[in-house]
Amino acid sequence: MAQLDETLTMLKDLTDAKGIPGNEREVREVMKKYIAPFADEITTDGLGSLIAKKTGKEGGPKIMVAGHLDEVGFMITQVDDKGFLRFQTVGGWWGQVMLAQRVTITTRKGDVTGIIGSKPPHILPAEARKKPVDIKDMFIDIGASSREETESWGVRPGDMVVPYFEFTVMNNEKMLLAKAWDNRIGCAIAIDVLKQLKDTDHPNVVYGVGNVQEEVGLRGARTAATKINPDIGIAVDVGIAGDTPGVSEKEAMGKMGNGPQIVLYDASMVGHKGLRDFVTDVADECNIPYQFEAIPGGGTDAGTIHLTHNGVPALAICIATRYIHSHAAMLHRDDYENTVKLIVEVIKRLDRETVDKLTFE
């Protein structure tokens, strides 16, 4: 494995952490450790979203830069007599990426390793081999022989299950493979934005946020934004990379390495036009590459941030990522670094007058 620098170590710690919606504590602690040195104060909302505040100028516009802490995973719903586990998906999964994959069950007594069971092809009729298995028919095998043995290991309904995958730097060291890029990369960007602004003079109050429960309906963004009451909202998330075989430009325009994706439209919001133009003007001025994206089939935390109080100009900025909502996804380090740079340059150029002008555009 490649030697991990400071940034890669942070990314590894964030992606290795386990946290499905409603179970974000471990990820929150990792994010808190990394963002605390650059924040004036750290608070949480009632659902557990992390809010790190950094004041450039007291009373200045409040800028919310938000990733989400949670990842897609599963929850145990039932233990059968033979010790096999039934489960519920938490967040969006496609059944074909799940069978025979290793998972970790987090219990009160510690972690338990399991695998999502599958039938060998030898016993499947030809027709069955072509047919996807329904998620509701899947189970997790932890090597137990009875319900009692399973329970003695601490496993019980409600326990969190996460994909198991080791953070990996690819042969092309710009390519990073890990579980939970959706959306630990957004948390990393929020951390790095505060880090870059540490000794920078700017007239704003910046909030680096790790929202909870995005994957089940953008829930933590609603409560965190209500607490902050921002003037500007920027949600940082993963987007779709449409640069692999079988994906047409009509389905996904994004390409890894071509810069942050500026989301024009998604199922949760229309990107604020004034803020969008401001961000792309800054990118042009600073020679930061970017690409446009429209995601009619998905939303981001910007969708609830922009509906806070009497409305907040908001924009989603995404990182083109391959294979999201599976055990492992891949992204490009340059896109991550360019996104941090872009948001930092945008914040440097915002002030009360600029924000007021944007609001009415």
* Residues labelled as active-site residues: 214
Helices 273-285 and 333-349, packing angle to 10 deg: 110
Q: What is the CA radius of gyration of the chain?
A: 21
Concatenating the DSSP letter of every residue in 12-33 gives HHHHHS---TT--HHHHHHHHH
248-260: buried (b, 16+ CB within 10 Å) or exposed (e) per residue? eeeebbbbbbbbb
- Contact between 121 and 133 under an 8 Å Cβ cutoff? The reply is no
Distance between CA 160 and CA 306 in Å, rounded? Answer: 30
Q: Pull the structure tokens for residue 187.
A: 């948390």
Sheet of 329-332: strand order equals: 168-169, 175-178, 329-332
What backbone phi and psi angles, to 5 degrees, belong to 167? -55, 130
Distance between CA 57 and CA 54 in Å, rounded? Answer: 9
The CA-CA-CA angle for residues 72, 106, 100, to 5°, reads: 60
